Structures are given as structure tokens and as C-alpha cells.
Chains A and B, each alone.
Chain A
Amino acid sequence: MACVTPLTPASAEASPLLRLSGLTVSFDTRAGRTLAAQEVALSVARGECLGVVGESGAGKSQLFLAVLGLLAANGHAHGSARFGDTELLTLSPAALDRVRGRGIGMVFQEPMTSLSPHLTIGQQLTETLVRHLKLSGRAARLRALELMQRVQLSDAALRLSQYPHQLSGGMRQRAMIGLALAGEPQLLIADEPTTALDVTIQAQILSLLAELKRERAMALILITHDLAAVAAVADRLVVMRAGRVIESGRVAEVLKSPRDPYTRALIAGTLTLEGAAPVPAARPPNAGAAARPGACALTLEGVNVQFQVGHGWLAPRTALTAVHDVSLELPAGGSLGIVGESGCGKSTLARAALALLRTSSGRVVWMGQPLDGLPAHELRALRRDRQIIFQDPLGSLDPRMTVRQLIAEPLLVHERALSGADRDRAVAAALAGVALGEELANHYPHQLSGGQCQRVGIARAMILRPQLLVCDEPLSALDLPTQAQILTLIAELRSSSRLSLLFISHNLALVRRLCERVLVLYLGRMMELAPAALLYDSPRHPYSRELLAAIPSLDPAIASGRLGQVRAGEPPSPLSPPSGCVYRTRCPYAAAVCAERVPVFEEVQPGHRVACHRWRELP
């Protein structure tokens, strides 16, 4: 909570640790000089956290690269950047090197690019310690271990002897933070430190940063596109757009009463649980019909999906269980959200449901017809009723086809009798249905924005009027305002046709807006299945609670409160799942019984099931 305790504004103004004034960053390109940042003025004091928010391309990263003298060769910086009493822009490279080592630490978005792949974590850390702190080798190794323990890296001693690729993304980011702290900097600049990570790990890293800032009275600059991260950690906030600072102030005030319309749009675009009243149109108009018993569109019965890992011959083949014994029912016109961290098998489950990959055991039943063992051509014919939208909007469109060809392709497969003119009419209607202009029909995917590409993907999926739409993280590759638009579009499509929806996401706030029921997956196993309202109000499974705690919030009090509940821990490898309950290694309530027996997926009340030995005893 201390991280949001306001510093008095006077003290922040009195001794700024870093003060930028009139800082302009420009690049010489073939097309002439482009400005990445213009006349930026901001400051950060000791013990304070400044959030710098903006969409990608707003110039926020380049601004701080310029401050650190790390611009590309064609970049120029003018103005002033004072760090304490030193003017950074005119400093010699050697002096800058000293500042970067001891004064300012930096954490980047993808730690893999800033960690050297052929040195162990320990080697990289001790090297830094020996160089900047002039420690002896032995002292440096001890200090490195201390640092790794401080950033809560599990099995710190083991991690020191490992190479970066052997660590998970979250562990790498922790190691990177440890590395940045090695020189005991007064200022830590974190550039999108959580963007590449899972929600739960995001929350862990943010909470670690907040703790470190408090403990070391260090200044922290958090560069991000994610307002919720800023709300949780930062004291003050600067909003950047197109290279300019358009709004700044204390986090609570700016979030409560933003002055600039762009800030307002950003706030409106952030999906939080508080504002997550289900999109009204999301309810099917004929809910009565959907509730009719026996009208199940899609049924999964004890589905297992295993992949063979290893090549035989020398490396022994082992089976990786991606989905383990999943049974579910999706009523016609109903909607089901599948949530969980990356690697929990949710995409695999979706592909199994679409018969895009073979199940190892269990049955997938579509409209009363089992899909397993169906001849290939019959299966293909059935595909017209079940369509999918992918995570990567650009990657799921053939780069050599125009928008018109892409959208018309399903018709060529399933409606061969259609004349060319009819097909063009259908394509025009589909384009209109996703609010794209007809003039885009002759464009190629790379000429469109991410949001437009996703609309094309949706138009392509919807042109056959399918009965089931599977959305595999359809929003996670998009900018915030675009996310909200696509979300509304999916909700509208659902209300206008009797469409069943299988919505996969790691973002629980998002699922809440679209889905009536939610399934929580962990390591390919069902943890909890409940009506959305019940899951969000009274989650039974500890893992559901952890996921809920990781949901972003724009209310600083709630956000930092949730950060306080965040626990360390990452999913174990699916190659060697823990015995008994797979979640027990991360579960704060784990007991002896959890390691011995696999919990039954039992009913809490009709429609609400949970796989936990101790759900009755939990607070």
C-alpha cells in the first residue's frame, strides 16, 4: 500500500532525480527528419514512481533511450536531461557508461534480447558486479545470490548456473531486474516490463517492482501502454501521444478526472472488472430456446490430447498431456469462456473441439454427431458450421490474397453453386457486417491495421453463417481502443444470429463481458466451471482467485490492494505434472491430501463445479 502513499508534491518538485526539459528526439530517415519526441518536460524524484503511458509509436521508449545515450546512429536528441547534477545529453560515452552502471538501471520488454544467450545468469550478474562495484569474484557471487533471492527467483542458486533460455519468461524478467539492480541504481527505468508476460506473472513482476522501489527509496519510471499497471504501481503519470506529453498529474486524479479526450479514450478502452457489466447485446435474444434441455451444440466427453515429444531413436519419446480429461457442454446459442495462463491447453482444447487436431481419447460431439472417425470429406463439409478467429490477425490471413479473395474463400469451398455476382454481393455484405468499407476489398492484409485485419478474419469466419464461433485470444494482439471495438463487434454478431461462442482468453475481465459460463483450465485440467456471475463473485478454486487477483483495475486503491494478494509461482512443466492436484505447488492452501489424490470435479451447486479437495474449508 505504501507505493501509492502520496509523496507531497513539494518534495517531488524540490529534488527531482531526473529532470527532462525541452527534450526533442529526432531520426534522420530517407523520407527526411522524423520526430519521435517533441519538447518533452518531466521529472521524477527519489522514492517516486512515474508512469509513462502511450500507445506503441508514441515515442516513449525512444525518449528514454535518448536519455541513456542509447539512440540508434541516425537519432539525435536536443534539450536537456539532468540526472542529479549531471547533464546526460552532453556526457562523454565513458561517463555515460558509469551513469548507466551505477546511477540508472534499465529493464526491457523482452529480457531474452538483453541477456546474453551463451553466458549463465550467474556469469552475467557477477560480471556486472565486478565491473561496477569492484567486488572480488567471491563477494560478487555471494551478492549475485542475494540479488536473485531478493527478486524472488525460485531456486536462486540453481538459476545462477542456468542459461537464459532455460528460464521461463517471468523468471528471465526477474533475473533482468536483478541485473538492473546490481549496480544499486538510484533510478530504475522499466520499459514495458510485463507486456510479454502472462497476467498472473505480470502482477507478480509489478508487485516486485513496487516493493523494490519502496525498500530502496529508488526512483522508478514505468513505461507502458497499460494504464492498469500504472494504476497499481505509479504515483504520478504522464500520458504521451505522437511524441508529446498531453497530460500529466497524480495517478488517482488523472484516472478519476482526465482532462484530455485521448486520456479518456485510453481509460475507456481499458477492460477492468469493475466496469465489466456484460455487453447488453451479448445475451441471445432467444434465451428460452437455448435453455431447452438436450439442445447441446457441442459436447466434449473426457477429451484427452497428447503430443509425442522427442524423436525416438536416442531421445526417448515422452507424451505431453496438453488437455486432460475435459468434459463440457455448450448449448446452442450459449457462450463459454475458457481462461488460464499460457500453456494451460486452452488453444489445444479449442482445436480439438474443431477437430483440427486428433484427440487421444474421448469424444467430440457436434449436434449429436460424433466427429471422431468421420471421413475427411464429411468432416470438411461440417466445418462450415464451426469457424474460428485467431490470435494473430495478420498471420491468419494469406499475405498473397486480397481482402475480397480472403472473405470469398469459404464460399468457394462450401457454396460452389454461387455465381460470381452473388459472391461479390455476399462479400460486400460481409464487409458491411464488420464495418469495413468496400474500398478495402482490393487491399492486401499488410496494407491494413491490426484491427482491420481482425475484422477481415471475422468477416471470413461469419460469411457462412456458422453456428459456432471459436475465438482464440482474438484481442490480445490489438491496441486498447481497437480491442474494445472488436469486442463490441463480436457481441453484436452474437446477438444478431443464434451463434454459440467458445471464447478463449487469459483476460478474465474480457470473458466476463461476453460469456455466460466460464471454464478455468490449469495444466490442461479443469479447475472450475461456473456461471460467469458466480465465478466472479464467489470463486471456489484458489487458482480462480489468483486469476481474479491479477485482473487490472484502474482504481489505484483496488489495484495495489490486489497486488498485495499476488503470490509467486509459475506453472510446472506439463511433461512432469505434480502428483495429486496439479495446482498444489502454487496453492497457498495445499495440504497433505492434495499431493496424494487427484481431486474430484465435484458439484458445488447445479452448474457450478470445482476440482479442489478443500473448497469447503476455504475462507
Chain B
Amino acid sequence: MSEQVRILPRCGWGEAKWRLLGNRLTALALLLILLIALLALLGPLVSPWGYDTLDWQHLAGPPSLTARHWFGTDRLGRDLFVRTLDGVRLSLAISLIASIMSLLIGVTFGAIAGLAGGRLDGWMMRCVDVLYSLPYLFIVIILTTLFSRGSLAALLVALAAVGWLTTARIVRALTLALRRREFIEAARATGLSGPAILLRHVVPNLLGPVAVYATLIVPQMILFETFLSFLGLGVQEPHASLGSLIYGGAQEMESAPWMLLVPALFLVVLLLCLNLIGDGLRDAFDPRER
């Protein structure tokens, strides 16, 4: 009989977790990300150099074990190992915070628009359309110059201001699909108010797809931050981000190639891993793909 108890040991998230780790490539990417994050946190403690200490003995020196400049030094004699890991840390932190900010704004905005529907939805989405059609690079340049150049807050605001638009659109589409589901009507019939339905039923059901999207937005943010720093609009000297390091390395490409290769390698590996995790998450949450 169909009435018999079928006990499955895992809930939705648990199942997704196992599918995620079962994917070898994703598991490897996760491991690599963890290693890089750990290295970025602990690496600078191991090295005798600080991010802004100048070593006059080794100007633009190649990687060497004896000088304890494992990744070499830049033109001013600053240790690249410490600066690169510092850059990784800063890039990761900035992009994580910016992603979270844009997710918070985007999910709230999109969910409200999707659930409200009708005229409010129309106006809210037209706002997004207008913001979309503004050239984002100009906005960012204006924002960063409005604040003092190189202020981290300005950079974060600029990143989030651009990032939330796509999030809002995706979340609205997801909410529209959710709104037609019967359990939302069941909640209305029970007597829940609009905000209660949003918090109790819509947002929790958005988490899965949004989590997938979030892992894909983080690498975008890293790339964007790197790009801004490369243009000189982002993180300022003496601090380093991957973008400013790559810019510095590009100047010395012919005489000291390690100055470009090391931060570029870190950037590529980081982006690749995050994208792989995002793909893996998407597959894990959508078992139909298997």
C-alpha cells in the first residue's frame, strides 16, 4: 500500500550536499578554494616580510628560497608572496561582502516585486531596466571619485550597485514561478499576511537557487574588482589586490615575468574553482540533469 511509511534519511539540503561532494571536480575545486583561503590567512604570518617592507637587497628579484622571497619581489623590493596572498585576501573579502550586499538588496527587491505583482511590480522592474541601461563603468567611476579615491566603502557600494540588478531580475522570475505554486495559496488561505508569506515561504524556497547564483556572482565580483583595481579605481597603494598586482606585473612583463604570472595564476585558479563549484551546486540542486 502506498500508505506505508517511507523513511528517507536525508532532507533536501542533505541530499544536495551528497550529490555536490559526489562530483569529483567540484570536490577538488572546493578543496583548492579552502587551501587558497587558508594560505591567504596564514601565509603572511609565516613569511618574515610584511606587505610594505622594502628589501633593498632584492629589487625585482626572481623567486628564491635563500632570500626567502618565495614568489620573488617587485620593483621596490616588496615580497610578492606576502603581497599576492594579501591581495587574494582583500579581493576575496571585497567580493564576498559585495556579493552579500547585492544579494540582500536583489533578493528583497526581486521577491517583493514578484510577490506584489501588478502595477508595483511593473514600476519596480522599470527602475531596474533604467539602471541597467546606464553605462555601469561611468557609475562606478563617478561613485569612486565622489567618495575619496580608493576608499573601500566606495568600491563596495559601486560593486553592489551594479551586482544587485541581475539578482533582482532572477529572484523576481523565481518568485513569479513560486507564486503560482499551490502552497503559497495554501498559506494565503490559512490567513498569513503578505510579508509573512514572503518571509516564511518565498524566501526559504528561493535559497537553493539563490545559493547557486551566489557562487557564480562571487567570481564575477572578483573579476570586476580586479578590473577596477587594474584601472587604478580600486584598491590603492601600498595595499594590494590581485588587480593592482596584475597591473604592476604587466608593466614589468619582459624584465620580471613572475610579477605578472604569480598573481595572474592565483586569479585564474580562484575563478576556475568558484565557477566549478557554482556549476556543481547547480547540478546538485537540479537532479534532473543527471
Contacts and interface: CB of A to CB of B under 8 A. Distances in A.
Given A390-B182, A399-B12, A446-B12, A440 B189 contact: no
A461 to B, nearest CB: 8
Interface string B202-214: 0011010000000
Given A398-B201, A400-B12, A400-B204, A414 B2 contact: no
Nearest to B204: A400
Contacts of A443: 7
B7 A447 contact: yes
B286 interface: no
Contacts of A376: 193
Interface string B96-140: 000000000000000000000000000000000000000000000
Contacts of B6: 447-449
Contacts of A481: 1-3
Interface string B1-14: 11111111001100
Interface stretch (A318-326, A378-386, A566-574, A589-597): A378-386
Contacts of A401: 204
B192 interface: yes
Contact of B2 (A388, A392, A446, A449): A449
Contact of B200 (A381, A409, A437, A440): A409
Nearest to B11: A444
Interface centre among A356, A414, A444, A447 (most CB of B within 10 A): A447
Given A409-B187, A410-B191, A400 B205 contact: yes
A437 B6 CA distance: 12
Nearest to A351: B185
Given A380-B191, A380-B193, A383-B189, A479 B2 contact: yes
B24 to A, nearest CB: 16
Interface residues of B, number: 28
A482 B1 CA distance: 8
A457 B186 CA distance: 9
Contacts of B201: 398
A451 B189 contact: no
A354 interface: yes
Contact of A388 (B186, B192, B196, B200): B186
A452 B183 contact: no
Contact of B182 (A354, A377, A387, A392): A392
Nearest to B189: A388
A451 B5 CA distance: 11
Contact of A451 (B2, B183, B190): B2
B68 interface: no
B239 interface: no
Nearest to A400: B204
B181 interface: yes
A485 interface: yes
Interface in B1-31: 1-8, 11-12
Contacts of B185: 356, 390, 396
Interface in A92-144: none
A440 B5 contact: yes
Nearest to A452: B3
A376 B188 CA distance: 11
A450 B186 contact: no
Interface string A425-468: 00000000000010110011011111110000100100000000
Contacts of A410: 190-191
A443 B192 CA distance: 23
Contacts of B11: 444, 447
Interface centre among B1, B12, B188, B190 (most CB of A within 10 A): B190
Contacts of A437: 5
Given A395-B183, A398-B183, A400-B12, A485 B192 contact: no
B191 A381 contact: yes
B3 A449 contact: yes
Interface in A361-417: 376-377, 380-381, 383-384, 387-388, 390-392, 395-401, 409-410, 413-414
Given A397-B186, A443-B7, A479-B2, 18 more contacts: A354-B189, A356-B188, A383-B189, A398-B187, A409-B187, A409-B190, A410-B191, A413-B190, A413-B191, A414-B191, A440-B5, A444-B11, A444-B12, A447-B8, A449-B2, A450-B2, A452-B5, A481-B1
The 8 tightest CB contacts between A and B, nearest first, are A383-B191, A396-B182, A395-B182, A380-B191, A400-B204, A398-B183, A396-B186, A449-B2
